[in-house]
Amino acid sequence: MKYFPLLLDLRGRSCVVIGGGSAALQKCRILLDAGARITLVSPRILPELADLLRSSAGTHVPRAYQRGDLSGHVLAVVATNDQAVQEAAAHEAEQLGILINVVDNPKRCSFIMPAILSRGDLTIAVSTAGRSPGFSGALRDRLAELLGPEYARAVEVAARLRERWQRQSIPLTERRRRARCLLDEEFLAALRRDDWSLVQRHLEQVEGEPISLAELGVESS
């Protein structure tokens, strides 16, 4: 099955998680990292999950799932092995038209959660369409070894350059060419070791004119 890759803005949005074990803990962490507000429904929860909810101002409903628990939320995650709960929640989500992820049951999911690698504003999602989450996670870990914190800095530089190119009305094809230059290995290595003189020289070659790192808001101290 093919899925459409989509990045959602969940900042301040209400999401419900059903379940109180390790899977629920993992999903809550992912949602909280995205800025979501969490309501968790489960009669019993892990101590770590209770601590997480307290620290994030989340809500714990200490009982089993009931019909109506998904109302008012934009997204639901079912992290329980109870098949009756999985089916009932998936049916409610379909009726309400909200997104739902049922852990380890892709047939009942309207979306799946990929393995995520973040470097600042750079987000890489790895998915096997729900067929092997373990493989997705392993590949994410392999990519994490290859993509260091310098990529977060490169994104910041690229964003500032994009603003500059827009002001200068640089054609789109030329913007793309210049953006590809920011993946140059020497440039990334310079960012990694804080070699700001080399960073500046590379950017001046890309732009074809003198350029100020301060103008780009690049840390060079």
Q: Do 108 and 15 lie in a common domain?
A: yes
Mean pLDDT of the chain: 95
pLDDT category at 2 given cuts 50, 70, 90 is confident
Pairing of strands 99-102, 59-61: unpaired
Q: Do 22 and 98 lie in a common domain?
A: yes
Q: Is residue 79 part of a domain?
A: yes
Number of domains in the chain: 2
Q: Is residue 202 part of a domain?
A: yes
Domain CATH for 109: 3.40.50.720
Average pLDDT for residues 210-220, to the nearest whole number?
80
Q: Is residue 136 part of a domain?
A: no
Q: Is residue 203 part of a domain?
A: yes
pLDDT exceeds 60 at position 221: no
pLDDT exceeds 60 at position 92: yes
User: Cα separation of 51 and 166, whole Å?
Assistant: 46
Q: Does residue 126 sit in helix, strand or coil?
A: strand
Q: Summarize pLDDT for 155-214 with one digit per residue, the tens.
A: 999 999 999 999 999 999 999 999 999 999 999 999 999 999 999 999 999 999 998 888
57's torsion region: left (phi>0), alpha (psi -120 to 50) or beta? left
Indicate if the alpha-carbon torsion angle 69, 80, 75, 94 is positive or negative.
negative
Q: Do 10 and 87 lie in a common domain?
A: yes
Q: Is residue 169 part of a domain?
A: yes
Q: Is residue 174 part of a domain?
A: yes
| Structural domain for 37, as ranges | 1-113
Residue with the larger pLDDT of the pair 1 and 58: 58
Q: Is residue 56 part of a domain?
A: yes
Q: Do 166 and 102 lie in a common domain?
A: no
Q: Summarize pLDDT for 26-46 with one digit per residue, the tens.
A: 999 999 999 999 999 999 999
pLDDT category at 217 given cuts 50, 70, 90 is confident
Sequence-separated (6 or more) residues with CB below 8 Å from residue 163: none
User: Cα separation of 74 and 112, whole Å?
Assistant: 15
**Which of 22, 15, 5 minimizes the C-alpha distance to 116?**
5
Residue 218's pLDDT is 75
Q: Summarize pLDDT for 122-157 with one digit per residue, the tens.
A: 999 999 988 899 999 999 999 999 999 999 999 999
Q: Do 105 and 156 lie in a common domain?
A: no
Sequence-separated (6 or more) residues with CB below 8 Å from residue 17: 24, 27, 28, 31, 38, 39, 40, 41, 76, 77, 79
